[in-house]
Structure 1
Amino acid sequence: MMPIVLIIDIARPIEEVFSYITDPLQFPEWQLDVVSARRDDTGSRGVGSRFVTTRRVGRMQRTTTQEIIDVDEPRTWAARTIGGPVSLLAKVTVEPRGDTTRSRVTLSFDFAGRGLGKFLAPLVRRMAAREAPKSLQNLKRRLESGEHRTDRQGSGT
Structure 2
Amino acid sequence: MGSIGGRERDVTSRLTEFDPPRAWAVHGDEGPIRSTVRVSVEPIAGRDASTVTIDLDFQGHGIGRLIVPLMVIPQSRKEMVRNMARLKTNLER
Count of residues in Structure 1 that have an aligned counterpart in Structure 2: 92
1:79 aligned residue (6, 26, 38)? 26
Q: Structure 1 CA distance, aligned partners of 2:14 and 2:47?
A: 30
Residue type matched to 2:67 in 1? Answer: L
TM-score, scaled relative to structure 1: 0.55
Residue type matched to 2:65 in 1? Answer: K
1:88 aligned onto 2:35: yes
1:69 aligned onto 2:16: yes
Residue type matched to 2:77 in 1? Answer: A
Partner of 2:90: 142
Partner of 1:108, secondary structure, is strand
Deviations 1:43-87 (A, max 9, x none): xxxxxxxxxxx2333342222111110112211111010211101
State the shift of 1:142 in Å. 0.5
Partner of 1:64, secondary structure, is coil
Identity %: 32
- In structure 2, runs of 5+ residues without a counterpart are none
Partner of 1:67, secondary structure, is strand
Partner of 1:40: none
Partner of 2:11, secondary structure, is strand
Partner of 1:133: 81
Partner of 2:62: 115
Runs of 4+ in 1 over 3 A off after TM superposition: none
Partner of 2:10, secondary structure, is strand
Higher RCO (Cα < 8 Å, 6 or more apart): 1
Residue type matched to 2:2 in 1? Answer: R
State the shift of 1:111 in Å. 0.4
Q: Structure 1 CA distance, aligned partners of 2:18 and 2:47?
A: 21
Residue type matched to 1:73 in 2? Answer: P
